[in-house]
Structure 1
């Protein structure tokens, strides 16, 4: 049994995953976790955990920890359709990163101007048991969270 603290990749208002307006995330189809509604400005999305960047797309990334916990950060909803506009990679697939290290610059205003929701779901990949994710106080209370603060803890 391992416990993995997962940190907020961006600052903003912490949101329970069930409140994300997308059933793929809100119903835990990808995995369980939490989300952050970011400020309407350009921000650096950072690594929520230390590990290796398993997958890096313009709008999302997966980091695999040394305990084989995969954490997905998805920048906005339906942002794959933007074809990379509004996102600048600061790391490369296969890189080893530490929690808090910038991975992608996220132009939140450009996503909003495209009519898309900029919320940032963060989930443990393939986690099928919601009880294995314990949200932090900011998520439980729906309050502001700063980038790098504890978002939730995953137990595997």
Structure 2
């Protein structure tokens, strides 16, 4: 079983409240979302593993069980073309849970007209495979978001 921890501090809001139908409809996969604190911050790895996808606004870490966890920083942030995001690791790097992956500023994303709400998704998982899903309340960096069996 994999425990997926929060890559950001903020408030858990659940996928249903993400202002994007692809995420809110769990088309990418089940999970939850974080409404992050509005200050410059670092998104950290939610699991130990291999960075298999890396973009300024999103990354996927695959753990030893073959579970890929997507962290998507904000909604429609791909349209910012990387502006305001600083990559701290590269695709192919091994990372440890809690290791900083991307520096960004949720307040700047919001000022640019995008939502800073950040989905954390279990790729290619069934809803039934997830347990203990955090869908409300304050979340500290590194708090458990869900387990994946």
User: CA separation in 1, counterparts of 2:140 and 2:23?
Assistant: 22
Q: Judge conservation of contact 1:34–1:135 (CA < 8 Å) in 2.
A: no
**Number of the residue aligned with 2:80:** 82
Q: CA RMSD in A?
A: 1.0
SS at match of 2:75: coil
User: CA separation in 1, counterparts of 2:87 and 2:116?
Assistant: 17
1:144 to 126, 138, 144: 138
Give 1:7 shift: 0.3
1:38 to 36, 39, 43: 36
**Number of the residue aligned with 1:92:** 90
Render the CA deviation track for 1:87-137: whole Å, top value 9, x for unaligned: 10011110000000000001112101111110110001122x21211234x
Moved over 3 A (4+): none
TM-score (norm 1): 0.92
Unaligned runs of 5+ in 1: none
User: CA separation in 2, counterparts of 1:152 and 1:24?
Assistant: 20
Q: Judge conservation of contact 1:33–1:135 (CA < 8 Å) in 2.
A: no
SS at match of 1:84: coil
**Number of the residue aligned with 2:53:** 55
**Number of the residue aligned with 2:13:** 15
User: CA separation in 1, counterparts of 2:81 and 2:5?
Assistant: 27
TM-score (norm 2): 0.96
